[in-house]
Amino acid sequence: MVTADGLHVTKVMSHDRLEARFGAMGRQARVVALGGGDRADERARHLIEVVERKWSRYRSGSEVSRVNDKGGHSVVVSPETYGLITRAVGAWRVTGLCSVLDTLAMARQLHPGQRNGLDALCKRYSVDNSHRELHGALLDADLLLEVYLAMTGGQGALILDEESEQPGHKAVVRRAVRPDGPLRVLRATEDERRAHDALLQVLDKASGGKTAWRRFEPDGAPAGNA
């Protein structure tokens, strides 16, 4: 069915159970209501619509989208959105320990004018999201990690061995055990330093000069001269 506001809704009634599916936040939302008749889902749909108008990044006219588009200029928002932004800024000032990277802004910069939702990015970077039938924060975060690695230099995994790339191979995480006695320190040779610096230059070019490793080098010196 199509509602008065143009929303496509699929409803399934079974005794006193109502299940409704409709688009929200760039994906399909599912509401299950027990009791209340064949209109029991309408309040839930109304609340989700209110949230979308304020905080959906998939709507160009939402409050969040307007704040992002204005880039630091004044925007009139609801008290709820103002409160969330105020608390977010407060948390950022209190912690001061980490920065926040907006992967959506990064994707828009890399692919202007294209769809940059998670499903679209997975397709663009050949990230398997076939198991993304039910959406959740942990699953989306795992997929976003793979997309981020692909966007920042083409790295496909955090484990850089060939075996982990083989079909059917399951990676196993093992805790390292420190051996007894003093540890041997193996320093890189000059050839290894030069090869490392050459790789960093490739990453610099691919990431627009944002290679994270550079931050750990003294005075930003090239790895071969450290």
| Cross-strand partners of 17 | 14, 34
Buried/exposed code over 93-118 (b: 16+ C-beta within 10 A; e: otherwise)? eeeeeeeeeebeebbeeeeeeeebeb
Q: Is the pLDDT of residue 36 over 60?
A: yes
Q: How far apart are CA 29 and CA 45, in angstroms?
A: 9
| Tokens matching residue 31 | 């509401």
Residue 225: pLDDT band by 50, 70, 90 thresholds? very low
Q: Is the pLDDT of residue 226 over 50?
A: no
Q: 135 an active-site residue? A: yes
Domain boundaries, the chain: 9-95, 103-165, 197-225
| Cross-strand partners of 34 | 17
Q: What is the pLDDT of residues 60-92, one digit of tens each?
A: 888 888 888 877 788 898 999 899 888 888 887
Q: What is the pLDDT of residues 123-170, one digit of tens each?
A: 888 888 887 766 667 788 888 888 888 888 755 444 544 444 444 444
CB-based contact 103:148 (threshold 8 Å) = yes
| Tokens matching residue 29 | 């939302």
Half-sphere exposure of 120 (CA within 13 A, CB side): 12
Enter the DSSP assignment of 189. P
pTM: 0.39
**Which of 8, 135, 169, 196 is labelled catalytic?**
135
The strand pair at 9-14 and 17-24 is best described as antiparallel
